[in-house]
Structure 1
Amino acid sequence: MSDTYITRVAQFLPNEGVLNEDMETYLGYINGKASKSKSIVLRNNGIKRRFYALDREGNPTHTNAEMAAAAVKGLFEPESKEIGEVDLLCCATSSPDQLMPSHAVMVHGYLPELDAIEVVSPSGVCCAGMHALKYAYMAVKVGDKKKAVACASERLSPVLKADQFEDEVQQLIRLEQNPIIAFDKDFLRWMLSDGAGAFLVENKPNPDGISLKIEWIEGCSYANTEEACMYMGAEKGSNGTLKSYKDIPSDELIEKSILSIKQDVKLLGEKIVKLGFTKLKEILIEKGVDMKDVAYFLPHLSSYFFENKIDDFFTENGIPIPKEKWFTNLASVGNVGAASIYMMLEAIFNSGALKKGEKILLAVPESSRFSYMFCLLTVC
């Protein structure tokens, strides 16, 4: 089997960055009032800027598939014919523009430079981007493909807009209940961002610059023991089960904001670090990896709130990573879900700082039902 390399990394961010004080200009005010939880959430998550595929009036400027295609094109020189050599396209997202056709074929539709090639759409949430990379990695490694593209993108801003919650607020007013959107819904309005990232995966290193050899990619899910923590298009019952939007009356879909994204914040805090990073320790022992040999640690963080919790776990479990080895760009680009790890890697890959022989450890926790992906890369 062939060694496999990430030879180029690109990203696409829509429009200008949106600062904290301008967020409700884009997303709107629910019931005409500023959010009471916004300042609390932002203080904890540490995000200073994010990007929306919206203009200041809340009108869409890009589709998810368009952003993904723009990131893919960014891997190649303008007017280059090389993009036509791509023989596999893997595109992941948790926020496709439609339920059908699949997200990846829609991205393919924006890339007429490509041939009639294999196209794959891994589903999921934050881990989906890593599943796209693993499919590309395995296809190249076994010799089935030579030049694969893995891509991840998100466009969640439309479901964060105030008009998505207005009918629910008006229903609460009619019932004379407190017309404040529950924290499990309001919480994520101040966390999420839009954008796309892409990797070129090949069976030989880039002759004109650095490459990242993929040593291994490992993942796991705890859905066999844990209930859903983040969900969309469903209603969560008191026993932890999810009721599909397909089984909810159409009027309740709007009144209860069923199609908005929600987070069980209590469950998130209790589970997200302990489950996944216990697994990471097991993987490192199995693979014979010493944290001292890791030059860069790239954790996908939904919030800087979890940074110290992960650091404490590492220290308590005998696998400390000095903070100077950590890298995240959460503060400047926001939480872009499946695309976040692509954007972090893009920032250091194209920084000029990497040296041959350095090892990079990627860690992607996904709170939806507690899934995790980990990857070790070597600069060459």
Structure 2
Amino acid sequence: MTAPPPSHPPPHRAAVLAGVGGCLPPTAVTNDELAQRLDSSDAWIRSRTGIRQRYFAPPGTATSDLAVGAGAEALKSSGTPDADAVLLATTTPDRPCPATAPVVAARLGLTGAAAFDVSAVCTGFVYALAAAAGLIAAGAAERVLVIGAETFSTLLDPDDRSTAVIFGDGAGAVVLRAGEAAEPGALGPFDLGSDGGREDLITVPAGGSRQRLSGVEAAPRDRYFAMDGKEVFRHAVRRMSASARAVLDRAGLRPDDVDHLVGHQANLRITNHVADEVGIPRERCFSNIAEVGNTAAASIPLALDQAHADGVLTAGGRVLLTAFGGGLTWGSTVLTWPRLDRA
């Protein structure tokens, strides 16, 4: 008996956005609460970051708990509880080993689905979107759940004013389904990049193999997140702007064609500078950093979920996504917002 020929994905197969969801810890932490400890003020924090509050996960909560919450909402939004793969972008996995994505998949009833973590810090969600699009384009999956989830508060030095006021915890998610490149919701093209020569700009020095095999005990401060704020600002604006322009060029679009820019929610001033560099009016930028802070890999999907819920993102609108993070890493993509149900 002759074996049937291998199946191949149809031409022009694309990843299409089919659902969105988000999850935040139950209690917000205001600037005033942090300012009392950090010799700062609400006005100082707002003027430099655009943030007025953020959410910190309570004791007993892990990154997987937030990821499950966001993933469940995205699956519900998509109209079906099924997915062939789960990709989790995070810098704060539940454990160094194993990956957190399989745990999330099992808790969502997706045991047996392919599942893996993506580590690209604040660019992680865009990298995960690209990986998911590749799985769908190759015919390896029909539906992929992509989650960005962080408990960044676990990495912060509570007495470091330069970082403790910026970051927050949360999770956002989208469901991608196989579809056609010409239909609303189709992702692409993508632009991705990295520069490992500047790994020192955004880092947690201790805890990995380099420090553990150095023979030197880690200093207490090396267990916390650290960054060079001025240099990060400069690189973030330059890399996100160039990446966004590259995606628009590949898609045959002009800045005027973009209805909404949804960038990584790093700092409101960064978002505004990127918009200016790309040539997109600032009023077309969606930002929720004032309410949730910088949630790293969760920031773009959380922003998409809120913008959708608020009615800012409507069917037919052209949306540009761009991000920058440690590594250094950066990435962008573009899509036409599809018609999605709102909870």
Could you state the TM-score of these two structures normalised by the residue count of structure 1?
0.77
Q: Which amino acid aligns with 2:26?
A: N
1:24 deviates by 6.5
1:109 deviates by 4.0
1:286 deviates by 3.6
Alpha-carbon distance between aligned partners in 2 of 1:338 and 1:189, rounded to the nearest angstrom: 17
> After superposition, where does 1:22-171 map in structure 2 within 5 Å?
22-23=33-34, 29=37, 34-35=38-39, 40-54=44-58, 60-77=59-76, 82-83=80-81, 85-111=82-108, 113-160=109-156, 162=158
Alpha-carbon distance between aligned partners in 2 of 1:211 and 1:52, rounded to the nearest angstrom: 35
**What corresponds to 1:228 in structure 2?**
200
What is the count of residue pairs matched by the alignment? 325
**What corresponds to 2:8 in structure 1?**
none
1:41 deviates by 4.3
Residues 356, 101 of structure 1: alpha-carbon distance in 2 compared, 3 angstrom cutoff: same
**What corresponds to 2:211 in structure 1?**
245
**What corresponds to 1:202 in structure 2?**
177
Are the equivalent residues in 1 in contact too, given 2:90–2:149 (CA < 8 A)?
A: yes
**What corresponds to 1:373 in structure 2?**
331
Alpha-carbon distance between aligned partners in 2 of 1:378 and 1:81, rounded to the nearest angstrom: 20
Give structure 1 regions of 4+ aligned residues with deviation exceeding 6 angstroms: none
> After superposition, where does 1:284-303 map in structure 2 within 5 Å?
284-303=248-267
Q: Which amino acid aligns with 2:202?
A: M
**What corresponds to 2:298 in structure 1?**
339
1:162-204 Cα shifts (integer Å, max 9, x gaps): 4xxxxxxxxxxxxxxxxxx6xxx53111100001111111124
Larger Rg: 1
Are the equivalent residues in 1 in contact too, given 2:157–2:163 (CA < 8 A)?
A: no
Question: Does 334-343 or 121-130 show the bigger shift?
Answer: 121-130
Could you state the TM-score of these two structures normalised by the residue count of structure 2?
0.85
Q: Which amino acid aligns with 1:198?
A: A
Residues 297, 64 of structure 1: alpha-carbon distance in 2 compared, 3 angstrom cutoff: same
Alpha-carbon distance between aligned partners in 2 of 1:41 and 1:50, rounded to the nearest angstrom: 12
Are the equivalent residues in 2 in contact too, given 1:65–1:110 (CA < 8 A)?
A: no
Residues 82, 306 of structure 1: alpha-carbon distance in 2 compared, 3 angstrom cutoff: closer
1:93 deviates by 0.2
- Secondary structure of 2:121's match? coil
Q: Which amino acid aligns with 1:22?
A: E
Are the equivalent residues in 1 in contact too, given 2:179–2:186 (CA < 8 A)?
A: no
CA RMSD between the two structures: 2.8
1:222-254 Cα shifts (integer Å, max 9, x gaps): 33x54531100349xxxxxx9933145675432
Alpha-carbon distance between aligned partners in 1 of 2:246 and 2:215, rounded to the nearest angstrom: 45
Are the equivalent residues in 2 in contact too, given 1:66–1:110 (CA < 8 A)?
A: no
Structure 1, gaps ≥5 residues long: 55-59, 163-180, 236-241, 315-319
1:7-31 Cα shifts (integer Å, max 9, x gaps): 1100000112221112368xxx4xx
Corresponding position: 1:212 with 2:223: no
1:111-147 Cα shifts (integer Å, max 9, x gaps): 3x11311112111201111222222222122322112
**What corresponds to 2:6 in structure 1?**
none
**What corresponds to 2:246 in structure 1?**
282
Residues 81, 47 of structure 1: alpha-carbon distance in 2 compared, 3 angstrom cutoff: closer
- Secondary structure of 2:187's match? strand
Alpha-carbon distance between aligned partners in 1 of 2:246 and 2:113, rounded to the nearest angstrom: 37
- Secondary structure of 1:150's match? strand
**What corresponds to 2:289 in structure 1?**
330
Residues 92, 42 of structure 1: alpha-carbon distance in 2 compared, 3 angstrom cutoff: same
Corresponding position: 1:5 with 2:2: no
- Secondary structure of 1:214's match? coil
Alpha-carbon distance between aligned partners in 2 of 1:265 and 1:354, rounded to the nearest angstrom: 31
Q: Which amino acid aligns with 2:21?
A: A
1:103 deviates by 1.9
Match of 2:164 among 189, 196, 204: 189
Identity between Structure 1 and Structure 2 (%): 22
Are the equivalent residues in 2 in contact too, given 1:6–1:202 (CA < 8 A)?
A: yes
Are the equivalent residues in 1 in contact too, given 2:262–2:303 (CA < 8 A)?
A: yes
1:211 deviates by 6.1
Residues 252, 39 of structure 1: alpha-carbon distance in 2 compared, 3 angstrom cutoff: farther
Corresponding position: 1:18 with 2:29: yes
